[in-house]
Amino acid sequence: MKRLAFLVPAAVAAWLLPYGLGGYSMHVVAVALIFAILAIGLGLTMGVAGQINLAQVAFFGVGAYTVAILCTRAGFGFWSAAALALVVAAVFGVLVGIPALRMQSHYLGIVTLGLALAFTNWVTNATVAGRAEGISDIPVPVLFGLELSSAYLFYYVELVVFALALAFALFVTHSPLGRRLRAMRDDDLAAGALGAEIPLLRMTAFVLSGLYGGLAGVLYAGLIRFVAPESFNIANMFLLLAMVIIGGRASILGCVIGALALAAVREALLDVSAYAQLGYGVVVVLVVVFAPTGLAGLPHQLRRLLRRHRPGERLRLGPFEPFDQAEPAASEEDVLEIAGVTMRFKGLVALDDVSLGVPAGQIRGIVGPNGSGKTTLFNVISGFYVPSAGKVRLRGRDVTGARPYRLSQAGVARTFQNLRLFDDLNVRENILIGLDRTRTAWIWRYLALPWKVFGYERALGARADEIIARFGLTGFAGAVPRELPYGIQRRIEMARAMAMSPSLLLLDEPAAGLNGEEVRQLAEIVRSIRDSGVTVVVIEHNMGLVMSLCERITVLAGGKVIADGTPAEVAVAPAVVQAYLGDSMAAPTETAVEEATR
Ligand SMILES: Nc1ncnc2c1ncn2[C@@H]1O[C@H](COP(=O)(O)OP(=O)(O)OP(=O)(O)O)[C@@H](O)[C@H]1O
């Protein structure tokens, strides 16, 4: 809230601005506001959701041309044409978003650029769009009987639309939806495993961008009352990109500041526009290299630099507070059943007819030499891979090939061998991603019932604080995971997985990189998780831990199950001894067996 305090004087200044400006300057300001709305839309896809979008200028054109065509060729009034233009721009957002379902990064950039070029090409050649000459007789918009023919009057309409558009974008980015979009930008695989419906989220980002582009186009058509292809060309797309990158693409306010600042600079450099383009390019490169978070990120970058030079107190991980014990499972049914699963990667068979069942409330260990298929098995269970053959069942329900977010919603949580925390989110936000169990379809509430979203966010916050305290992470709630020691990061990943209230928890090498004391605490945490009613499957190379923690162990070698039984049974199984003898990893030791059988 404190950070938004400057909005009040900014709003007053914006309201009074026309009193001190001449006609031409007023026109420049009105165009700058349009660019600011466009930049917010681009910030939502590129900055917040991490989707390369070079079609924003086409969304802009779709909005402007739809109004122009409907008003001049179909007899629509300005506002009804404007409403339809928003719908058309949103549909165009869906079309541009479709490639994002299959490709990312520069491939997506090329495709969206191609779609933008196709749009400019079409309006330059289509008779209905007035070809290269454009459409010039768009009627003056009339509002409450007032003709908005002057830039002064139109400015106030724009200002209100801009304020609402900005408020909505800030609301979305600071809500569960915005947090999910940022998590997707950071690591879409992990976000999917935590319940984010990645395809729908990507589409949502493009539809939002389409709406903001369309809105800017409608205002442009109302202000200039003339549309022509050159206003929506690639040069303007790159100007828009420069605005967003210089301002700070991940921050909505940064995008606005970048747009307003560059619109003013562009005006000042009109006489030397050929060199100005070069200048923008140089500034963009400098920003990307020296201040990747743009102007908006500078205060944060400075604060971090200052903090690094201040000797701070070393925060310690707090004690873990055990979960409440649950009643022992009433049914004997397996929570997880793997039946004849085979996973082939081209010529390589990573899993070969693997079958196993894990009953409710068990801690099951999966061990095996490097490359024996343990992580592949987890990837199949959590939906990252669709097995070449065989079935995966959860409480008897066939979930083979289900997407990670569906499995997450069905109660499967996992951690990763190489830790996949969201590094652009702080620890509390990481936990909040795990806690948020809503479907993307829930987003209609953002428009219809925004107060419900605030209420939900508050409830999530309270639960996040509980989990953070339970896992002894209170001192780190506001920290960025990558700046924390490895042992703490492992604890955060475990807390994030438990935030999902899973019924099945898959832990992939949770003891990797931990010291002796941390391994002891890990065992205590896993036992408490099991006692709370969660079934746990753990891949681990630390044999002492596996032997003491797991009630039953499945041993994989070369993608096959070579042994399955209690720790004491598998430790002496000839096939296991044989498999481990050829590996650099230590075989289950006698001490470990003794420990397990004690
Ligand atoms: N996406 C993939 N494409 C091709 N091969 C893969 C893929 N994923 C795994 N593999 C191969 O499958 C085999 C099993 O790998 P996996 O990571 O499951 O082993 P692991 O038992 O988890 O090993 P580690 O203990 O080293 O983590 C390896 O030979 C690996 O190279």
CATH number at residue 16: 1.10.3470
Answer whether residue 271 shows pLDDT above 90. no
State which residues form the domain around 538: 334-597
Q: Cβ neighbours of residue 260 under 8 Å, at least 6 residues apart?
A: 32, 33, 35, 36
Lowest mean pLDDT among 41-50, 109-118, 188-197, 379-388: 109-118
Is 316 a domain residue? no
374 lines ligand 1 (CB under 6 A): yes
Mean pLDDT of all residues in 260-289 = 83
Answer whether residue 38 shows pLDDT above 90. yes
CA distance 108 to 105: 5
What's the pLDDT tens digit per position in 410-424? 999 999 999 999 998
| pLDDT for position 102 | 81
| pLDDT for position 591 | 47
HSE-up (13 A, CA, CB side) for residue 48:
32
Residue 371 CA to ligand 1 center (angstroms) comes to 5
370 lines ligand 1 (CB under 6 A): yes
Mean pLDDT of all residues in 306-320 = 70
CA distance 501 to 510: 18
Report the nearest-CA residue for atom 30 of ligand 1.
371
Report the nearest-CA residue for atom 1 of ligand 1.
345
Please indicate, yes or no, whether residues 260 and 384 belong to a single structural domain of this protein: no
State which amino acid sits at residue 592: A
Strand partners, 398: 393
Lowest mean pLDDT among 35-49, 301-315, 366-380, 581-595: 581-595
Residue 375 CA to ligand 1 center (angstroms) comes to 7
Report the nearest-CA residue for atom 10 of ligand 1.
350
| pLDDT for position 439 | 84
Residue 376 CA to ligand 1 center (angstroms) comes to 6
373 lines ligand 1 (CB under 6 A): yes
Among candidate residues 223, 213, 171, the one with its CA nearest the CA of residue 86? 213
Percent of the chain with pLDDT over 90: 60
Please indicate, yes or no, whether residues 394 and 281 belong to a single structural domain of this protein: no
Residue 319 CA to ligand 1 center (angstroms) comes to 35
329: pLDDT confidence band, cut at 50, 70 and 90? low
Answer whether residue 67 shows pLDDT above 50. yes
Residue 387 CA to ligand 1 center (angstroms) comes to 14
What's the pLDDT tens digit per position in 574-596? 888 887 765 544 445 444 444 44
504 lines ligand 1 (CB under 6 A): no
Please indicate, yes or no, whether residues 140 and 249 belong to a single structural domain of this protein: yes
Report the nearest-CA residue for atom 4 of ligand 1.
345
Is 459 a domain residue? yes
371 lines ligand 1 (CB under 6 A): yes
372 lines ligand 1 (CB under 6 A): yes
Report the nearest-CA residue for atom 8 of ligand 1.
376
Please indicate, yes or no, whether residues 340 and 299 belong to a single structural domain of this protein: no
Please indicate, yes or no, whether residues 292 and 424 belong to a single structural domain of this protein: no
CA distance 421 to 193: 12
Where does a domain end: 303, 324, 352?
303
- The overall average pLDDT reported for the chain is 89
Cβ(210)–Cβ(96) below 8 Å: yes
249 lines ligand 1 (CB under 6 A): no
| pLDDT for position 426 | 94
Please indicate, yes or no, whether residues 472 and 515 belong to a single structural domain of this protein: yes
Where does a domain end: 282, 303, 324?
303
What's the pLDDT tens digit per position in 233-256? 888 898 899 999 988 878 999 999
| pLDDT for position 597 | 39
Report the nearest-CA residue for atom 26 of ligand 1.
370
| pLDDT for position 592 | 47
352: pLDDT confidence band, cut at 50, 70 and 90? very high
Please indicate, yes or no, whether residues 463 and 581 belong to a single structural domain of this protein: yes
Percent of the chain with pLDDT over 70: 94
Please indicate, yes or no, whether residues 88 and 232 belong to a single structural domain of this protein: yes
Is 322 a domain residue? no
Report the nearest-CA residue for atom 20 of ligand 1.
371
Report the nearest-CA residue for atom 18 of ligand 1.
373
Is 312 a domain residue? no
Nearest 10 degrees: Cα torsion 355, 357, 363, 364: -10
Residue from 376, 417, 509, 541 whose mutation best tests the ligand 1 pocket (most atoms within 8 A of CB): 376
| pLDDT for position 309 | 57
Q: Ligand 1, closest atom to CA 372?
A: 21
Answer whether residue 117 shows pLDDT above 70. yes
| pLDDT for position 347 | 84
Strand partners, 560: 557
What is the domain-level CATH number for residue 550?
3.40.50.300
Mean pLDDT of all residues in 542-547 = 92
Lowest mean pLDDT among 301-310, 511-520, 562-571: 301-310
User: What token pair was written down for 511?
Assistant: 């003891």
Note the ipTM here.
0.96
Is 45 a domain residue? yes
| pLDDT for position 376 | 96
Report the nearest-CA residue for atom 9 of ligand 1.
376
375 lines ligand 1 (CB under 6 A): yes
Residue 351 CA to ligand 1 center (angstroms) comes to 9
386 lines ligand 1 (CB under 6 A): no
| pLDDT for position 313 | 54
Domains of the chain: total? 2
Residue 53 CA to ligand 1 center (angstroms) comes to 34
Please indicate, yes or no, whether residues 263 and 351 belong to a single structural domain of this protein: no
226: pLDDT confidence band, cut at 50, 70 and 90? very high
Please indicate, yes or no, whether residues 237 and 359 belong to a single structural domain of this protein: no
HSE-up (13 A, CA, CB side) for residue 37:
28
Residue 372 CA to ligand 1 center (angstroms) comes to 7
Please indicate, yes or no, whether residues 342 and 295 belong to a single structural domain of this protein: no
Report the nearest-CA residue for atom 29 of ligand 1.
371
Please indicate, yes or no, whether residues 167 and 239 belong to a single structural domain of this protein: yes
Cβ(24)–Cβ(159) below 8 Å: no
Cβ(567)–Cβ(546) below 8 Å: yes
What's the pLDDT tens digit per position in 553-574? 999 999 999 999 999 998 888 8
State which amino acid sits at residue 4: L
Looking at per-residue confidence, does 5 or 113 come out higher? 113
Residue from 345, 382, 384, 386 whose mutation best tests the ligand 1 pocket (most atoms within 8 A of CB): 345
Answer whether residue 338 shows pLDDT above 90. yes
